Copies of this chain bind each other. A is one copy, B any other.
Amino acid sequence: MTTAQEVNEPTSSWDPYTRGCPSRDLLDQIGSKWAVLVLGELGRHGACRFTRLRQQLAGVSEKMLTQTLRTLERDGLLLRTVYPETPIRVEYELTPLGQTLRGPLKALTAWSVEHIEEVLGAREEYDERTGKR
């Protein structure tokens, strides 16, 4: 068995600017559309069921929601608990590791809301400039 903790390499060996570095893939994962929204919702609301998440993340397909949840669970960011009641109930919640992502992701989400109008303006200006040529 080889756990990550046993590897005593200096942290500087992880660099997302390097091709094939796991930290690049992780960065890609946690920055992906549905992962950001899932983690955000679980951060705001606490434990959530599958159906609630699907409703809150308006527009997500069941396939993508399942896939996103599996990946995040595998990465240790969220915990999946099955309650074998009837009908079955499954709840998702952030792990302590997942909690540490709330801040960074909240900042990113807030940025997109705060600056969307500037960006929309920039797009219009760009399209006018380049459309005329």
Q: Mark A106-122, 1 if CB is under 8 A from B, else 0.
A: 01110111111111111
Q: Mark A1-22, 1 if CB is under 8 A from B, else 0.
A: 1111101000100111111101
Interface residues of A in 4-63 (CB under 8 A from B): 4-5, 7, 11, 14-20, 22-24, 26-28, 30-33, 36-37, 40-41, 56-59
Interface of A, secondary structure class, is helix
27 chain-A/chain-B pairs, Cβ below 8 angstroms: A2-B121, A2-B124, A4-B118, A4-B124, A5-B121, A11-B113, A14-B116, A16-B36, A16-B37, A16-B109, A17-B40, A19-B59, A23-B112, A23-B113, A27-B109, A27-B112, A28-B32, A31-B31, A31-B33, A73-B126, A74-B123, A74-B126, A77-B119, A97-B119, A100-B111, A100-B115, A101-B111
